[in-house]
Structure 1
Amino acid sequence: MTDVRAYDTTPEAQFGDYVALLKPRVMSLVVFTAFVGLWVAPVTVHPFVAFCSVLFIALGGGASGALNMWYDADIDAVMRRTQGRPIPAGRITGPEALAVGLALSGIAVLMLGLAANWFAAGFLAFTIFFYAVIYTIWLKRSTPQNIVIGGAAGAFPPMIGWACATGGISLESLLMFALIFFWTPPHFWALALFMKEDYHKAGVPMLTVTHGRAVTRRHIFAYTLVLAPFALWLGFTGIGGPIYLAVSVALNALFIAGGWRILRRTEEQATADGYRVEKSYFRLSLYYTFLHFAALLAQSVVGGW
Structure 2
Amino acid sequence: MVDPHPSQLADPPPHRGGGPASGQPNSRLSGPRDYLQLLKPRVMSLSIFTAFAGMIAAPGEVTNWPLALISLLAIALGAGASGALNMWWDADIDAVMQRTKDRPIPRGAVPRDEALIFGGLLSLLAVWLLALSGTYLAAALLAGTILFYVLVYSMILKRRTPQNIVIGGAAGALPPVVGWAAITGDAPLAAWVLFSIIFVWTPPHFWALALVKQDDYRAAAIPMMPNVRGDAHTRRLILWYSVLLAPLGVLPVAFEMAGWLYGSVAVLGGVVFVALAVNIQRDERAKPAWRLFGFSIFYLFALFLALIIEGGGATNV
- Cα pair 2:247 2:270 within 8 Å, conserved: no
Spell out the pairing of 1:132-143 with structure 2 (5 A cutoff).
132-143=150-161
- Give the deviation of 1:166 after TM superposition: 1.1
Which amino acid is the alignment partner of residue 162 of structure 2? P
Q: Sequence identity of aligned pairs in percent?
A: 48
Which residue matches 1:254?
Answer: 272
* RMSD over equivalenced CA pairs, Å: 1.5
The whole-number CA distance in structure 1 between the counterparts of 2:255 and 2:280 is 32
- Give, in angstroms, the shift of residue 300 of structure 1: 2.5
**1:175 match:** 193
In the alignment, structure 1 residue 285 sits paired with structure 2 residue 314 = no
What is the CA distance between 1:142 and its match in structure 2? 0.6
Residue pair 2:190, 2:252 contacting (<8 A) in 1 also? yes
SS, match of residue 164 in structure 1: helix
For 2:81, the aligned partner's letter is A
Match of 2:257, SS state, is coil
Partner SS state of residue 79, structure 1: coil
Alignment partners' CA distance in 2, 1:242 and 1:191: 32
Amino acid at match of 1:33: T
Indicate whether 1:298 and 2:316 are aligned. Answer: no
**Mapped pair 1:126 → 2:144:** yes
8 A Cα contact 1:241 1:304, kept in partner: no
In the alignment, structure 1 segments of 5+ residues that lack a partner are: 1-7
Q: 1:68: which partner in 2?
A: 86
Q: Match of 1:142, SS?
A: coil
Partner of 2:166: 148
User: Within the alignment, does 1:101 sit opposite 2:119 as a pair?
Assistant: yes
Match of 1:110 among 110, 125, 128: 128
84-93 vs 35-44, which deviates more?
35-44
1:2-46 superposed Cα distances (whole Å, 9 cap, x missing partner): xxxxxx871432211100000000000000000110122113330
Q: Aligned partners of 2:41, 2:297: CA distance in 1, in Å?
A: 15
Amino acid at match of 1:226: L
> Aligned partner of 2:274: which letter?
I
1:28 and 2:45 correspond = yes
Secondary structure of the residue aligned to 1:250 is: helix
> Pick from 33, 44, 52: which aligns with 2:61?
44
Count of aligned residue pairs for this structure pair: 290
TM-score by length of 2: 0.89
* Correspondence for 2:213: 195
Q: Which runs of 4+ in 1 moved over 2 A?
A: none
Structure 2 residues without counterparts, runs of 5 or longer: 1-24
Q: TM-score, normalised by structure 1?
A: 0.92
Amino acid at match of 2:203: P
Matches of 1:214 and 1:145, distance apart in 2? 16
